[in-house]
A and B are shown apart, each in its own frame.
Chain A
Amino acid sequence: MFDIDWRGLLVPLAYVFVLGGTFMTFSTIYRKRKAVQSANLAPWFGPHLQRNIYLSLLHMEPEAGSEKAPKVPDSIIRAALLRRAVEDIHRIIQIRTAKASCSSLLQRGSVGDDLWQRFQRAEKEMEEELRDVVMEANALAPNWGQTIFQSANEIAANTVLRERMDEIKATVDSEKEWWEKRRAGIQTEFMKELDEAEKTQIKAGSEDDTVLVDTNTPSATPSGASKKKKGKK
């Protein structure tokens, strides 16, 4: 039969083993590292304060000395859940708007892979969070789960609107002040001009630029030109 030269075979076998071993170690180490990395990725959203409040209200620990935990009124728990739902609405809007752009940016290579992983995890978490809120709502009041997010949505939209209103209102004082000053300035100039005109009995030039409110009339800018054109049409 065949006479196998074991010593001669040793070298190629060793080569194969070393090669295979290297690949195996490399891939296991690489995978482990990847797993650790993705586990350590920072969460997309910060801590969910409203949820934490709700849960701590729900599971009040009995105070030291007393047997029973303090009873939290139902309305407060409901309000806390509604707050939680409002926060969820903010987050879900953020995720919905970000999804398409995030994936397109990832394809183009403008953002990194780990951002996408974080994003997907946040998406999954949000789904669970929503389900959880619906279940909690149903437990608190029958069929509330169907409407809680509608009301939360309205609250969220209202908050955004009010914030913007406040921002605009905040500028009222300074605007008013500026306008008063400005009016006073224009008035004094006018008076001065009138006085001068009376004194010298010479007509002042028809235009005096320092009086013009809008010093930069866009005479040559195309936007002005386009308006004129529109007028003709």
Chain B
Amino acid sequence: MSTDYAYDEEGYLWPFFVFTLTFIVTLPLTYMLINRSRDPAAQFQRVQTGYRHDQSALVDTLRKQEKRKDRKIWLMAAVVGGWAVMAYTLYLINTTVVPALDLWNPYDILNIPESASEKVIKSTYKKLSLKFHPDKAKPDASKNETIEDLNARYVEISKAYQALTDEEVRNNYIQYGNPDGKQSYSINIGLPKIIVSDGAGKFVVLLYTLMFGVLLPYLVGSWWYGTLRRSKEGVLMESANRLFRAYKDDIDEGGIVEALSIGQEYEELLKGDKADDGLSKIESRILAEGQLSPLAGGLSVKDKRKLEDMESGPRRKALALLWAYLGRVELDDPGLAKAKFEVAPIAHALNKSFNAIALAYMNTAPLLASYYTNQLLIQALPPKASPLLQLPYFTPKVVKAVEGDSRVHTSVQSFMDRPDAKRRSLAVGKGLLTEAQYREAVNVAKQLPYLRVAKAYFKVTGERFIIPSSLVTLVVKGRFVPPGSENVPEVNELDLEDIDPAEDDLDAILGRKAKNPVKKDENGKPIADKSGSSDPITPPLAQAPYFARDHSPRWHVFLTDSKQGRVAVPPFTFAQFDCPVFEADGKTPTFAMQTLKAQFQAPPQAGHYTFVMHVVCDSYVGFDTKMEVTLIVEEASKAALMKDEEEISEPEEDSIAGAMNALKGGPAPAAKPKKLQKVEEDSDEESGTEEEADSASDTNTDTEPED
């Protein structure tokens, strides 16, 4: 059987082919384009404030510039081109006349309906053959008929008749669509004929070579070297390497700021004469005497020495600019001021890489310092500065008036916890805040998401005890209580429990977002979460008037071993929560209980482990929580005993289950139920919460109720 490949000579097939192909490519690209051009920050809530400092305009333009950078010209061109091609091919499809494919249909030839019975078929055939038999009919000259035409027509009619009556012919017709049996068929390739016609062949080969010999290797190569050029954290690989070298076990925030200036990114930002331009001016400004700190840039004497030891060049300028940014030092030069705000986001990105490096070393101090540096970069505060400077209109002078000459800084929370009159008397005054400014500052402070931890405990899903090497969940329950909130409701004890999903609730077990029971009603029965909104709930964007990017705050939860100064459980990061932080108006806090969960493996030995739990917010200074939690790991055998006692009917000694139990090292079960009872009582005394719990796993080992 020969098959012919014909090209699309009539030009009615290739538009379909091209249309489909373009459609497949263009649609995802269009989606990407639309997704990108939508401002990702727009769907976040913001802290509502009218506060503008004197360089807000500059910061805003830098933010906008960054957003514009995201837009890709080639993507837009590709999408426009794709839709144009699609429109053209669609036009072609609609206008090109498709050559009619005549299907051989015996009913049509006999001119009878397809439902005709055999009788009708026969009678029609007879009628037609009487009329069209070549012996009877005469060629009609007016219709330009010949005798061959008549013959052919009669043959067709008899074929049609046979197809409907004769078994064999009918089979042929059903199988192949033709009474004569299988016909040769042709496949048309949906490419225009021009492509393969003489002369064009060379160009096609050339195009092919260019695509597969040049474009494909280029794309693969640029992708591969692109991934090699940047580290996983998105900074240049060379910067990451340098940061690794700059890591020290005893590095502090100032040291990290100094280390961050090492990035290769700054060499690109401060190219050519920008490398030293205005360096002496910046340095004289940041090393001038400051109001709160000895130096205006907020750097310590050690940091100053490091800066002065550096050779001049992009690195020294970057560091000087960073200190100018952190110290909020006025530079009086539009170019320098712009550069000052540009270095901070770069340092922020580099800090991400440094954070990964500090985490790899698993030392607490550098990791914490890295998080604190992140806060400082976002809020534009020097190390050891007062957290009060985060509030709008708070100048060093105001801070001084509030703090007095205390060595311990007043945090935003403790400032806002004071009665309004006292706050006012401290902050409002001549040379300090005006009444309106004070009100704005309080307004902003009351919108800052401060996560107040209510309780933190460990549990193993579905178990009563934590046995060695089991998968433990650290459950942190906390509420967003903005500083200075009034009428904070009491913590509902039922909110503090963490209820295991029902055993048949696959969605919850697999970690899918589902309406699993998250609360208990008064009778202790779980009630399903009715809200059912699957949108991720995020806190408002960080209130960071100096940081030239939009940043969504994150919370990092990790456990450290305070004696060794090492990280015990690496950080879990939370940027989304299960309950809204603020009401729809974006201002009123909901005080809903949030649940943060982190899973890790329990230590292989039983015992009491005391960890220090850190909950660090990466965007606000002084909003961190540090508390002790104790993980009690019980012997596996003890937990197994408990379980046997409770759930499984005791296996008979001579049954298979009994034998299995004995093999597992358990005691002969029927022998001593009394002792079992005792063990249970003992453990009850220890953790003391078994009684009330039915579906909650009660391995609460530490309880820290909120006051």
Contacts and interface: CB of A to CB of B under 8 A. Distances in A.
A226 B404 contact: no
Contacts of A110: 231-233, 240, 353, 356-357, 360
B64 interface: no
Contacts of A229: 703-705
B577 interface: no
Interface string A24-68: 000000000000000000001000000000000000000000000
Interface stretch (B161-169, B410-418, B661-669): B410-418
A24 to B, nearest CB: 16
B228 interface: yes
Interface string A93-136: 00001101110110011111111000000000000000000000
A217 interface: yes
A219 interface: yes
Contacts of A222: 452-454, 625, 627, 704, 706
Interface stretch (A7-15, A70-78, A197-205, A207-215): A207-215
B495 interface: no
A112 B241 contact: yes
Nearest to B244: A111
A220 B231 CA distance: 42
A198 B453 CA distance: 47
Given A105-B360, A110-B232, A223-B625, A182 B414 contact: no
Nearest to B352: A110
Contacts of A218: 414
Interface in B611-660: 625-628
Contacts of B415: 216
Contacts of A213: 406
Interface in B123-158: none
Contacts of B626: 223
Contacts of B362: 101
Interface string B231-274: 11100011011001100010000000000000000000000000
Nearest to B478: A222
B39 interface: no
A229 to B, nearest CB: 6
A161 to B, nearest CB: 12
A178 B407 contact: yes
A114 B241 contact: yes
B91 interface: no
A15 to B, nearest CB: 12
A112 B357 contact: no
Contacts of B413: 220-221
A108 B232 contact: yes
B357 A105 contact: yes
A109 B410 CA distance: 41
Nearest to A216: B414
Nearest to A119: B244
A34 B422 CA distance: 68
A228 interface: yes
A93 B360 CA distance: 16
Given A223-B627, A226-B627, A228-B707, A181 B405 contact: yes
A111 B453 contact: no
B240 A101 contact: no
Nearest to B407: A178
B403 interface: yes
Interface string B561-575: 000000000000000
A225 interface: yes
B361 interface: yes
Contact of B237 (A104, A112, A185): A112
A32 B414 CA distance: 64
B187 interface: no
A214 B706 contact: no
B237 A111 contact: yes
Contacts of A178: 405, 407
> Which interface class (under 10, 10 to 19, 20 to 34, 35 or more) fits B?
35 or more
Contacts of A101: 357, 360-362
A86 B405 CA distance: 44
A111 B707 contact: no
Given A110-B231, A111-B231, A182 B405 contact: yes
Given A217-B414, A222-B627, A105 B706 contact: no
B408 interface: yes
Contacts of A214: 406, 408
A110 B360 CA distance: 10
Nearest to B357: A105
Nearest to B242: A115
A215 B705 contact: no
Nearest to B237: A112
Contacts of B417: 219-220
A220 B483 CA distance: 10
Contacts of B245: 44, 115
A128 B704 CA distance: 55
Contacts of A112: 228, 231, 237-238, 240-241
Contacts of B704: 222, 225-226, 229
Contact of A216 (B238, B408, B625): B408
Contacts of B238: 112
Contacts of B705: 225, 229
Contacts of A210: 404
Contacts of A223: 625-627
Contacts of A215: 403-404, 406, 408, 410, 414
Nearest to B235: A110
B707 A115 contact: no
A119 B422 CA distance: 58
B400 to A, nearest CB: 13
Contacts of B357: 101, 105, 110-111
B388 to A, nearest CB: 10
Nearest to A218: B414
Contact of A115 (B244, B249, B628, B706): B244
A90 B40 CA distance: 48
Contacts of B627: 222-223, 226
Residue from the set A104, A220, A224 with the largest chain B CB neighbour count within 10 Å: A220
A108 B705 CA distance: 39
Nearest to B414: A216
A190 to B, nearest CB: 15
A115 B241 contact: yes
Residue from the set A97, A104, A108, A215 with the largest chain B CB neighbour count within 10 Å: A215
B145 to A, nearest CB: 56
Residue from the set B357, B403, B410, B411 with the largest chain A CB neighbour count within 10 Å: B357
B410 A102 contact: no
B407 A108 contact: no
Interface in A170-185: 178, 181-182, 185
Nearest 8 pairs of A and B residues by beta carbon? A101-B360, A112-B237, A216-B414, A115-B241, A109-B232, A225-B707, A110-B356, A216-B410
13 contacts: A102-B360, A105-B244, A109-B232, A110-B231, A111-B240, A209-B422, A214-B408, A215-B404, A215-B408, A222-B454, A222-B704, A225-B704, A228-B707
Given A112-B231, A215-B406, 8 more contacts: A102-B244, A102-B360, A109-B232, A115-B244, A178-B407, A222-B454, A226-B704, A229-B704
Interface of A: 44, 97-98, 100-102, 104-105, 108-115, 178, 181-182, 185, 209-210, 213-226, 228-229
